[in-house]
Structure 1
Amino acid sequence: MIVCSHMIFAYFSSTFFVSELLYVSCLICLFLNFLHVSNLSNDACLVFSYVL
């Protein structure tokens, strides 16, 4: 959740295309969390945060 908050902050503080990718990946993470696939969503958040 902290990672997603950082991504949202980056999205609003910058107009770079990478920030939009981070924001979209954050939404995907939140959606997976909503589906209660906690392990998969946590791994996805880590992968997105390090790759992007």
Structure 2
Amino acid sequence: MLPPFIIEQIRKREEEERQIEERPVLELPLPPRAPRAERSPDDDGDRGVVVIDLF
């Protein structure tokens, strides 16, 4: 037989899990996302350096 405090802890955990599962979930009717174009690792695009002189 388990001690009463351990049984109480098990009951609390089960109740918390039950509350999470019973929590209502909002489902939004979002349009499906367009598939992303895969980029090759060599194709980083045209990137440059910007130097800002603050003085």
TM-score, normalised with respect to structure 2: 0.37
Of structures 1 and 2, the one scoring higher in RCO (CA 8 A, sep 6+) is 1
Structure whose alpha-carbon radius of gyration is higher: 2
Structure ranking higher in helix proportion: 1
